[in-house]
């Protein structure tokens, strides 16, 4: 048990910005753990998730948000918008993330919303690895600086882990002196059950690419930890293992066929990839069983959304 420094800092840090600028990648790489799922598709992140970074001087509780969507009519998008906005209530710091190569009016629009608050905002210019000429980021800085009073500006590459140490220092400098919010051993506020369903969803989104919309969801039907034991029949030692049964819900039978794939190839690969990630994240042996079912119109149905945990 080590004694906490008197000037230990802690607080909530919201990561906001347009879809696909790299918010989830940034959180994962700051934590050194893949907690939030990522893909090239916008709207990959549907849920709010806390990622907890603790070191000897601070604890930052990152809030990865779904992007803020405009002109969305369907129930699921309204829920996502609410999650994005409510993430900003009571945070100590906002990381406003932009893509160094592809910034546009949408970014400024999100920034305007922040302008109405008195939040401390750090501009994080991500994907700096994609810039051939580092100087080309200067007009971006100028434009954004004109429209907002940032506490700091930090260029990074989340994917390549460039300048993330500097970003950590900047974050610590803006957090209030306070005791840690979560246990310093903890890395997320989410259950393994939840993380398992997100990992499966990521593998489908990545593998099925543009063929399935984001209208699919994953429900964990069973999550059973079996401790290490001696098999009563054979007398042989059995390693600890977690049995996970999950159902992938899609909206149409055509989508079901796509998720399953030719001769079941895709679902088999999804299962193997998901299991690998889970074993790494949970640090235990996993047995994963996947099912695919059609649940018509679930993303428009408030009742169904609630039963699936939104």
**Contact residues for ligand GDP (CB under 6 A)?**
19-25, 38-40, 44-45, 67, 126-127, 129-130, 157-159
Rank residues 79 and 295 by Cβ distance to Mg ion and give the closer one: 79
Extract long-range pairs of 37-43: CB within 8 Å, 24+ residues apart.
37/198, 37/199, 37/201, 37/202, 37/205, 38/202, 39/202, 39/205, 39/206, 41/205, 41/209, 41/210, 41/214, 42/67, 43/19, 43/67, 43/69, 43/80, 43/214
Question: CA Rg, the chain, in Å?
Answer: 21
Residues 6+ apart with CB under 8 A from 209: 41
User: Tokens in use for 97?
Assistant: 């993330």
Binder of residue 100, out of ligand GDP, K ion, Mg ion, none (CB less than 5 to 8 A by kind): none
Is residue 45 near Mg ion by the rule CB under 5 A?
A: yes
The nearest distance, CB 234 to K ion, in angstroms, is 47
Is residue 24 near Mg ion by the rule CB under 5 A?
A: yes
How far apart (Å, rounded) are the C-alpha atoms in residues 220 and 57?
A: 37
Rank residues 20 and 59 by Cβ distance to K ion and give the closer one: 20
Binder of residue 22, out of Mg ion, K ion, ligand GDP, none (CB less than 5 to 8 A by kind): ligand GDP
Is residue 126 near K ion by the rule CB under 5 A?
A: no
The nearest distance, CB 45 to ligand GDP, in angstroms, is 5
Binder of residue 25, out of K ion, ligand GDP, Mg ion, none (CB less than 5 to 8 A by kind): ligand GDP
Is residue 44 near K ion by the rule CB under 5 A?
A: yes
Rank residues 9 and 79 by Cβ distance to ligand GDP and give the closer one: 79
Residues 6+ apart with CB under 8 A from 73: none
Binder of residue 157, out of K ion, Mg ion, ligand GDP, none (CB less than 5 to 8 A by kind): ligand GDP
How many positions of this chain bind Mg ion (CB under 5 A)? Answer: 3
Per CB under 5 A, residues contacting K ion are 20, 44
């Amino acid at each position: 048990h080590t004694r906490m420094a008197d000037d230990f800092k802690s607080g909530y840090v919201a990561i906001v910005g347009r879809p696909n600028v790299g918010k989830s990648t940034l959180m994962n790489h700051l934590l050194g753990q893949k907690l939030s799922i990522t893909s090239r598709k916008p709207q990959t992140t549907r849920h709010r998730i806390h990622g907890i970074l603790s070191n000897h001087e601070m604890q930052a509780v990152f809030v990865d948000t779904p992007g803020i969507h405009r002109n969305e009519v369907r129930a699921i998008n309204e829920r996502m918008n609410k999650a994005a906005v409510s993430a900003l209530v009571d945070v100590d710091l906002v990381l406003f993330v932009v893509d160094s190569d592809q910034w546009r009016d949408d970014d400024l629009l999100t920034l305007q919303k922040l302008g109405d608050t008195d939040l401390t905002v750090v501009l994080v210019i991500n994907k700096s690895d994609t810039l051939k000429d580092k100087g080309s980021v200067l007009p971006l800085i100028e434009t954004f600086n004109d429209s907002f009073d940032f506490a700091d500006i930090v260029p990074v590459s989340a994917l390549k882990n460039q300048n993330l140490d500097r970003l950590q220092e900047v974050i610590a400098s803006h957090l209030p002196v306070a005791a840690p919010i979560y246990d310093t051993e903890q890395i997320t506020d989410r259950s393994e059950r939840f993380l398992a369903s997100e990992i499966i969803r990521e593998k489908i989104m990545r593998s099925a690419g543009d063929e399935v919309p984001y209208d699919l969801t994953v429900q964990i039907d069973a999550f059973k930890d079996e401790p290490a034991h001696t098999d009563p029949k054979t007398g042989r030692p059995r390693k600890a293992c977690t049995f996970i049964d999950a159902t992938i819900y899609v909206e149409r039978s055509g989508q079901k066929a796509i998720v399953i794939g030719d001769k079941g190839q895709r679902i088999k690969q999804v299962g193997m990839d998901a299991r690998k990630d889970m074993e790494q994240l949970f640090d235990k042996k996993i047995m994963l069983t996947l099912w695919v079912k059609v649940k018509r119109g679930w993303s428009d149905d408030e009742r169904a959304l609630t039963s699936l945990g939104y």
